[in-house]
Structures are given as C-alpha cells and as structure tokens.
Amino acid sequence: MRGRQKERSIADELKFQILILGGCVAIAWGLELFDLLVLKGGYNFGGGLDQYGIIPRNPIGLRGILFAPFLHGGLGHLIGNTIPFLILGWLVMLRETTDFFVVSIISALVSGSGTWMFGTPGIHLGASGVIFGYLGYLLARGYFERSGFAIAMSLFVGALYGSLIWGVLPLQQGISWEGHLFGFIGGIVSAKLLADDRRSVGG
C-alpha cells in the first residue's frame, strides 16, 4: 500500500514539474508567435513586444526585469533557449520542485538588475539569464551542500553544459553577456541561500 502511494506521489510530482516547465515554455512560445505573426506581421504596434525588454539605465526599462525572460528576438533565439531551459530547469527541481521557483526568481532579479545597471545600450531580452542562473546553481550546489547527490549533480552538469560558462564573457557581439554573468551569479546566490536554509532546518 505504501509503495503504491509513493509511486503515485512521484508520478504526481513529475506531472506537476512537466506542467510548470511546459507552462513556462508555452508562454514564451505564445508571446513570440503573437509578436511575429500579429504585432510584427503587418500591424504597426511600435516595435512589438521587444520594447518590453530591459533597457539599461532607462527608468522605463526596469519593467524588462519582469518581462524579458519571456521575450525573445526571433524563433532562432527562442529555440536556442528552449532545450537548455527544459533540461537545466528540470535538474533544478529534481530534488524539490520548489527549488525551481526560488532559483528562477533570484536569477531573474539578479540578472535583470545587473543588466539594467551595467548592460550595454540596447534592448536585452531572453530566458538565457535565468538559464545561466540554473547553471550557476547546479554547479555551485555541490560546493555549498557537500552532499554526495549535490556533488554528483554538479559534476554531471559541468560535463554536460560546462562549456556554456564562456557565455559570461563579452566574446560575441549582440549577445547579452551581462545577463548571462549576473544570472550565473544569481544562481550561485540561490545555491548558498538554499544550502543555508536546509542546514538550519536540519539543525
């Protein structure tokens, strides 16, 4: 009886995780398709949804901290972000689904704020800041938690996505490396905060 209840619990949790990740991706894809097909597809709406991205040091650009992770500069940009978002996002929630919300919010806020304060002129948008937050969290978790599971996860993610780390450097024009860098920092902050919280609860 307990085995069946546990199986149902795991199955329900997996369905919930799929719903969360799928919902986030559906919002991003829905907004981008709406932007391309309606707002930029023959109608004049002043530049479409891109104008709601982060505009560094411009007061109106602060709204982009909230909106930018869901907006992208075309289908290629969105496709490039979708797969790592799904994989790294699921790895973040693998132990506890609530970790996903904590890491996502902190990474988005740190990435967006850092980009707004220090970013190069232009409009910064895309989920890559949050994705780099997931990367930073998963890599730093092993160091802060010192558990076998966390260390193994850090090593696994390092082998799988470690090459992404170069994205925090200004090596490619037109890429918001500032969003990547501050998102990565936000992920490390998340790892520290969650590790401290678990130690305090365990203690």
The stretch 165-173 carries a mean pLDDT of: 92
In this prediction, residues 112-121 reach a mean pLDDT of 97
Average pLDDT, integer, range 164-190: 95
Give the integer Cα–Cα distance in Å for 158 and 163. Answer: 8
More confident position, 39 or 186: 186
Nearest by Cα to 129 from 61, 66, 194: 66
Q: What does the block give as tokens for 87?
A: 């994989």
**CB-based contact 142:88 (threshold 8 Å):** no
| Cα 202 from Cα 194, distance rounded (Å) | 12
* pLDDT value of residue 197: 86
pTM: 0.93
Average pLDDT over residues 17-34: 97
Q: How far apart are CA 121 and CA 61, in angstroms?
A: 11
pLDDT of residue 174: 87
Confidence of residue 102 (pLDDT cuts 50, 70, 90): very high
Domains of the chain: 2-202 (1.20.1540.10)
**Which residues, 6 or more positions from 29, have their beta carbon under 8 angstroms from its beta carbon?**
78, 82
How far apart (Å, rounded) are the C-alpha atoms in residues 155 and 67?
32
Q: What is the dihedral of CA 111, 113, 119, 121, to 10 degrees?
A: 120
One-character DSSP codes across the chain: -HHHHHHHHHHHHHHHHHHHHHHHHHHHHHHHHHIIIIITTT--SSSGGGGGSB-TT-GGGGGHHHHGGG--SSHHHHHHHHHHHHHHHHHHTSS-HHHHHHHHHHHHHHHHHHHHHHPPSS-B-STHHHHHHHHHHHHHHHHHH--HHHHHHHHHHHHHHGGGGGGGSS-STTS-HHHHHHHHHHHHHHHHHHHHHHHHHH-
pLDDT tens digits, one per residue of 73-86: 999 999 999 999 99
User: Are the beta carbons of 99 and 92 closer than 8 angstroms?
Assistant: yes
pLDDT of 37: 87
